[in-house]
Structure 1
Amino acid sequence: MKWEAKLVKHRGKSRIAVLFDKDIKLIARIKQLEDARWSSSKKYWHLPDNKENRARFKITTTEKNLLDPKTSAEISKFSNWLRSRRYSDNTIKTYCEALKSFLIFFDDKMPEAITNDDVILYNNDFILKNNLSFSYQNQIVNAIKLYFRTIQEKTLDVDKVHRPKSAKTLPNVLSKEEVKLILEAHLNLKHKMMLSLIYSGGLRCGELLALKPENIDSKRNIVLIKNAKGRKDRIVPLSLKILDMLRGYYQLYKPKTFLFEGQIQGQAYDARSLQQVLKQAVSKSGIKKPVTLHWLRHSYATHLLESGTDLRYIQELLGHSSSRTTEIYTHVSTKSLQQIKSPFDDL
């Protein structure tokens, strides 16, 4: 009697699939096992993944999110389509992981048989049940919608899925005094230079690390940000104080390919190492807040607004596609609030 057992995913849960040619005696024995189910689409029986069943069916490998060949093929098609349309590597990875989660949940169903009701079921029985974030749910919905429209050539009305309202969180902003403490904490010129340039231009971490020496235009006093988020180029003003620091930095480090290189010449500085540089600076400065690199960008935008810079220019400097994204800084600017006198002062 020949049979094969393997780990599979069924509706987000690990199961053990048992494959064999039709055998009445074996079917009868499997039916007696707890929670044994038949998959009509995959043509195999599957059981709970537990110690007893692993021992019974000689499953010795650890689960590594084993994918059905069909699921792997669909994800590969989707990945190739995204790459051919020049989606960023991060977007491709995010969308493919989201689609994988969805298809694994419906492992017993062919993709072409999936309906709107299945999407709602996935939302309720997986996303909401596991208290997954709004942003993750949004990624899933966007990935599903795009996959079915492009690969399956069918339209799912995923907008019927009830989405929770996103939290109205405000950006975290440091005072100018706090920023100064952080930027002056390091004696290492490269570390000081990287953090200072992020704040002085409102750069994202990835934008800073992608900079090349030729992106610094000292004659026009600008920094050229190439291929930033949304595949957009933009320019930001180059502070004269930053330019003086950069000249000293050039003489000492002599960067070749990237403006900030790691221990191996020609390779960009590592993002995780830069995060550690900030963490050390925050610790040295005595600031107790959980500061991240993006806080420096938020602080740059807010300080510009408080100094009277028009919101439209701030939008251009930050590279925001929508003015609504930039308008959030009006909620954390304290310049107008400080002019309001509390009625408590008149008591």
Structure 2
Amino acid sequence: MKQVLASIRFLYQNVLEKPVPKSLNIKIKKPQTLPVVLSKEEVGRLIKVTSNMKHKTILLLIYSAGLRLGELLDLRIGDIDSKRLKIHIRQAKGKKDRYVVLSEKLLNILREYYKIYAPKDYLIAGAKGGRYSDKSVQSVMKQALKKAGIRKKATVHTLRHSFATHLLDEGTDIRFIQELLGHVRLETTQIYTHVSSRSINKIKSPADSLDF
């Protein structure tokens, strides 16, 4: 449909040399697809089957704090506030700093991670101490999914989707979730209301009342 409209506009502007009719100035809405979400049990399996401490830390960091991939890779050691149980996210997608929750389980994993890798600058560092690569994180996720036997079309970002959905399932106010995710608009966060099981599970199918 979009290509057809573009062709007609081109005809008016470049061949007929006439103004494009207002009726052709239509905005085609992109189809809204729901995000893939893992269950808590599936996330637990991902973490459990990942034996490499750095890889385990990566997966748990993204899920437990709802981080974007870039936010994970930009984390410095000083961004972890173990006393206040917060993680400082600097200059995120909306160009604003924010704080996210630091899970106590993650803190324990981070302490083990520090003992093994002793990072100097970046929290998750590459082989030479520089920024870890996007592809490496994606590979970690792909391997974990395979080991855990999860066949959903999940990506690294699926862990962030799962974080938000699980909070919503547990009754967390959507505005708090918006703040944790760093969304500028509430409408962006509301997509998770469509995949949360909290409301759906309250609905009883009419088939359950059939007598057969």
Q: Answer whether TM exceeds 0.5 for this pair.
A: yes
Partner of residue 192, structure 1 = 56
2 CA distance for matches of 1:251 and 1:182?
A: 23
Partner of residue 97, structure 2 = 233
Partner of residue 143, structure 2 = 280
Amino acid at match of 1:300: F
Partner of residue 167, structure 1 = 31
The structure 2 residue matched to 1:345, chosen from 197, 204, 208, is 208
Where 2:132 maps in the other structure, the secondary structure is: coil
What does the per-residue CA deviation read over 1:60-97, in whole Å, with 9 as the maximum and x for residues that have no partner? xxxxxxxxxxxxxxxxxxxxxxxxxxxxxxxxxxxxxx
Higher helix share: 2
2 CA distance for matches of 1:192 and 1:199?
A: 11
The aligned runs of 1:146-225 (5 Å cut-off) are: 161-225=25-89
2 CA distance for matches of 1:181 and 1:161?
A: 50
Residue pair 2:36, 2:153 contacting (<8 A) in 1 also: no
The aligned runs of 1:102-113 (5 Å cut-off) are: none
Where 1:228 maps in the other structure, the secondary structure is: coil
Structure 1 vs Structure 2 CA RMSD: 2.0
2 CA distance for matches of 1:326 and 1:342?
A: 27
Structure 1 runs not aligned, ≥5 long: 1-119, 129-159
Where 2:180 maps in the other structure, the secondary structure is: helix
Where 2:89 maps in the other structure, the secondary structure is: strand
Q: Which has the larger radius of gyration?
A: 1
User: How much identity, in percent, do the aligned residues show?
Assistant: 53
2 CA distance for matches of 1:338 and 1:206?
A: 34
Structure 1 residue 162, shift from structure 2 partner = 3.3
> Greater relative contact order (Cα 8 A, min sep 6): structure 1 or 2?
2
2 CA distance for matches of 1:298 and 1:278?
A: 14
Amino acid at match of 1:204: R
Where 1:287 maps in the other structure, the secondary structure is: coil
Aligned residues, how many? 195
Structure 2 runs not aligned, ≥5 long: 11-23
Partner of residue 175, structure 2 = 312
Higher strand share: 1
Where 2:98 maps in the other structure, the secondary structure is: strand
Which consecutive segments of 4 or more residues in structure 1 shift more than 3 A?
Answer: none
Partner of residue 124, structure 1 = 6
1 CA distance for matches of 2:41 and 2:200?
A: 19
1 CA distance for matches of 2:165 and 2:48?
A: 20
Structure 1 residue 335, shift from structure 2 partner = 1.5
What does the per-residue CA deviation read over 1:287-331, in whole Å, with 9 as the maximum and x for residues that have no partner? 111210111001000100111110110000000001111111111
Structure 1 residue 281, shift from structure 2 partner = 0.3
Amino acid at match of 2:42: E
Amino acid at match of 2:111: R
Structure 1 residue 161, shift from structure 2 partner = 4.5
Partner of residue 248, structure 1 = 112
